[in-house]
């Protein structure tokens, strides 16, 4: 595949609805419109109490969406779902007290939006606001290789935000870090449609003033989770 520069924007995705793409479930919501979710479990409360005050509301907001998604995928009530951190900080799923290693979840938040994704294979979701494009440019070489940057119109805030979100989502799926060699080794081969090197599938959308990235790593070759009921296609 020959890489080609991108000069068009990304399709939009509606907030507040569960969407399905590539076998994954995805939902994004405005922080101001976030629905009330189940109370955190005792284990989740212990995690929250160990966080800085500014981080607590953000952490809980992401779990509201993730629990809704997981509940729909495994046909369980949202209040039976726990989203707890591994030692590396990545989230894992517990339903009714039982760990669910085959249910992969990822969460992202900005000042204005929250997103969550669930899939039968490793999944990463990330949001990057277009107003952050200048900041992305200042640290781009931490995550974007020279080959990546050759494809990116650095004058386009949506493109810069999309490239960063794509790398963030990819390293989340790999349970790695955005800063360092691991991120630079994930090659961006295109942004519309988004194409990454390796066994990865990816998609980018605009939601409000943010770009939303979804990455599925090592796509499953056997049936995984059942499809999300009553969800629209994310277009």
- Crossing angle of helices 42-49/53-74, nearest 10°? 150
**Are the C-beta atoms of 206 and 9 separated by less than 8 Å?**
yes
Q: Which pLDDT score is estimated for 137?
A: 86
Torsion sign across C-alpha atoms 10, 118, 165, 192? negative
Which class for 89: exposed (0-12), middle (13-18), buried (19 or more C-beta within 10 A)?
Answer: exposed
Q: Which pLDDT score is estimated for 219?
A: 57
Candidates 3, 16, 27, 18; CA nearest to 214 is 27
Longest dimension (CA), the chain: 51
**Are the C-beta atoms of 180 and 213 separated by less than 8 Å?**
no
What is the value of pTM for the model shown?
Answer: 0.87
Q: Phi and psi (nearest 5°) for 50?
A: -90, 0
Q: In the CATH hierarchy, which top-level class contains the domain 19-220?
A: alpha beta
Per-residue pLDDT for the chain (235 aa), expressed as one digit of tens each? 344 444 457 999 999 999 999 999 999 999 889 888 889 999 999 999 999 998 999 999 999 999 999 999 999 999 999 999 999 889 999 999 999 999 999 999 998 899 999 999 999 999 999 999 888 888 888 899 989 988 888 888 999 999 999 999 999 999 998 887 889 899 999 888 999 999 999 999 999 999 999 999 975 443 344 333 322 333 3
**Lookup: tokens for 215:** 């990455």
Candidates 23, 28, 6; CA nearest to 207 is 28
């Amino acid at each position: 595949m020959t890489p080609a520069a991108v000069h068009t924007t990304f399709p939009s995705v509606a907030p507040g609805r569960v969407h399905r793409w590539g076998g994954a479930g995805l939902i994004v919501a405005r922080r101001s419109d976030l629905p009330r979710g189940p109370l955190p479990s005792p284990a989740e409360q212990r995690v929250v109490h160990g966080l800085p005050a500014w981080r607590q509301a953000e952490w809980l907001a992401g779990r509201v969406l993730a629990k809704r998604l997981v509940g729909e995928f495994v046909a369980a009530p949202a209040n039976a779902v726990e989203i707890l951190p591994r030692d590396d900080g990545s989230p894992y799923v517990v339903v009714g007290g039982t760990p669910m290693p085959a249910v992969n979840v990822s969460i992202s938040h900005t000042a204005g939006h929250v997103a969550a994704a669930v899939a039968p294979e490793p999944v990463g979701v990330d949001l990057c606001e277009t107003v952050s494009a200048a900041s992305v440019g200042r640290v781009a070489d931490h995550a974007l290789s020279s080959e990546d940057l050759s494809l990116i119109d650095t004058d386009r805030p949506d493109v810069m935000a999309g490239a960063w979100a794509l790398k963030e989502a990819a390293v989340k799926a790999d349970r790695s870090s955005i800063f360092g060699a691991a991120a630079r080794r994930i090659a961006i081969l295109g942004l519309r449609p988004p194409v990454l090197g390796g066994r990865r599938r990816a998609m980018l959308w605009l939601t409000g003033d943010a770009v939303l990235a979804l990455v599925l790593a090592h796509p499953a070759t056997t049936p995984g989770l059942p499809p999300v009921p009553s969800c629209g296609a994310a277009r």
